[in-house]
Amino acid sequence: MKKLLLLTVLFVGVVQANAQCTPDPQYTSPGIYPDSATNFMPAFVGSSYSQTITAVTPLDTTVEIIPGFPQTVPIDSIIIDNISGLPPGFTYECANASCVFYGGTSSCARIYSTTNPTIADTGRYYLTIDLTAYSIISQQSTLTYYYIDVIDSGSVGINSIEGHRLEVSQNHPNPVDGLTYIDFNSGVNTNVEFTVMNLLGKVIHRQTIKAIRGENRITFDAKNLDGGIYLYTLDNGNVSYGNKMIVR
């Protein structure tokens, strides 16, 4: 039963597989991408949302039906029973009507908005994902570590938690076809993770910035990116901020 608990963690990425999504081929090891540390990309007021998730589910797992005697058993399937806690106007889809996913497969999923978020929807939404895993026994489990931030991109984007302030300006120039700059103010000396994603949630660029207390600047070269809208986030481990970048 210990293994089935691990299995549910490995499988959360297939929660909303949609026939239109494509698994990211760079991922071959069992797991969910993005993982719980990276989490889902933020949503922005007035913009549509789509988060693609790639999941690689193993063929088998280890369970202890009799305590102290682990055994390897094949994974039959996992069923997504329900996903709750989504922002207003958000939903999910699976590749089949029953939301059944089988062991030994690489698949993808999608969470998306049916209506654009509004200012009234801003905030952090923690998701609750109810699963049933089937092997030689069945076990139900609930995952609660994923969340979606709905952000007002028209604001300056100031967040404060326990004094770890993070104030971030809009990248400039924007639109951009070469170098662009993102100025931010940190309340403490800390590491800040800077991430750029496309609208499908694929990470295009990620780096760790050694921020000092006070003013900091990130220089990002967008010359090799295709034209379109990208999302960038800054996260200091306590608060996060996101905004849109337009590449010409």
With 80 as the cut, is the pLDDT of residue 46 above it? yes
Please give the pLDDT value at position 13.
Answer: 38
Instruction: Note the pLDDT of residue 223.
Output: 92
- pTM, two decimals, is 0.56
Average pLDDT estimate for 37-64: 78
Instruction: Check pLDDT > 80 for residue 81.
Output: yes
pLDDT at residue 64 tops 70 = no
* Secondary structure, 3-state, the chain: CHHHHHHHHHHHHHCCCCCCCCCCCCCCCCEEECCCCCCCCCEECCCCCEEEEEEECCCEEEEEEECCEEEEEECCEEEEEEEECCCCCEEEECCCCCCEEECCCEEEEEEEECCCCCHHHCEEEECEEEEEEECCCEEEEEECCCEEEEECCCCCCEECCCCCCEEECCCECCCECCEEEEEEEECCCEEEEEEEEECCCCEEEEEEEEECCEEEEEEEECCCCCCEEEEEEEECCCCEEEEEEEEC
In this model, does residue 101 exceed pLDDT 80?
no
Q: Dihedral sign, CA of 122, 123, 128, 129? A: positive
pLDDT at 206: 93
pLDDT band at 134 (very low <50, low <70, confident <90, very high): confident
Question: Which of the pair, 146 or 67, is modelled with greater confidence?
Answer: 146
Model confidence at 178: pLDDT above 60: yes
* Across 70-84, average pLDDT: 83
What is the structure's pLDDT at 129? 84
Structure confidence at residue 77 (pLDDT): 81
* Mean pLDDT value across the chain: 79
% of the chain at pLDDT higher than 70: 84
- Structural domains in the chain, CATH included, are 2-151 (2.60.40.10), 161-247 (2.60.40.2550)
